[in-house]
Amino acid sequence: EVQLQESGGDLVQRGGSLGLSCAVSGLSFKIRNMNWVRQAPGKGLEWIAYISADSSTLHYADSVEGRFTISRDNGKNALYLQMSGLRDEDTGVYYCVVVGGGVALSFYYGMDVWGHGTTVTVSS
Amino acid sequence: DIYMTQSPSSVSASVGDRVTITCRASQSIGAWLAWYLQRPGKAPQLLIYNAAALQRGVPSRFSGSGSETEFTLTISSLQPEDFGTYYCQQCNSFPLTFGGGTKVEI
């Protein structure tokens, strides 16, 4: 069974920093591209960051570019999101997500496995 | 950026009803579209990818169609476990973007 377990969510002050982790099991992590997707309270889904399987390609949403950094450790089957300069609008649930659909591994095919999410609250 | 617009934003339906949700893209995305269901308090799950391909394990009452800028998700006979919020997502290019969601409720 594929499992994604996010951790690191916390209450943090505006302007502060926080690191999220995602432990992945049950699939060949080293060949899977990964996303972080977040959801503000009562709002819709927002994609924020992508990393290719070999870490050679990174993409960020404009809303987090320059403040957030996605990374991975294929030896540890782990995905990370380092966040700095946190703002009120960064509050929400952060999901670790495996890219792909069906037997395809590309971002063209959606996002087929989601973690349960970890909650980040930014407050003054 | 590609903007995704869903309609309706909410729909009231009963078990057994046929439900159709529309998603429009601000520019052509070919067939690079996915649909998700998010049940209350849960993470989203992938239903449809490549506009019309059913993700493994998803019941056949779900179907997707469309291309370029207009897409449709149809639930042929709504079941109790189908209530929640549905999102479309364009998979054509970064930044990946979602529609605002369609809440399907009783």
Supply the DSSP string of B27-93, one letter for each residue: S--TT-EEEEEE-TTS--EEEEETTTEEPTT--TTEEEEEETTEEEEEESS--GGG-EEEEEEE-SS
* Per-residue pLDDT tens digits for A48-81: 999 999 999 999 999 999 999 999 999 999 999 9
| pLDDT at B50 > cutoff 90 | yes
| pLDDT at A12 > cutoff 90 | yes
* Per-residue pLDDT tens digits for B2-49: 999 999 999 999 999 999 999 999 999 999 999 999 999 999 999 999
Select the residue of A35, A102, A116 nearest B49 (Cβ to Cβ): A102
Q: What average pLDDT does chain B have?
A: 97
Chain B: nearest CA to A94, how far in angstroms?
A: 10
Chain A: nearest CA to B48, how far in angstroms?
A: 8
Measured between beta carbons, which residues in chain A are less than 8 angstroms from residue B98? 44-47
Residue of B nearest to A96 (CA): B43
Share of chain B above pLDDT 70, in %: 100
pLDDT for res A107: 87
Interface test with A, best of B42, B46, B93 (most A CBs within 10 A): B46
Measured between beta carbons, which residues in chain A are less than 8 angstroms from residue B10? none
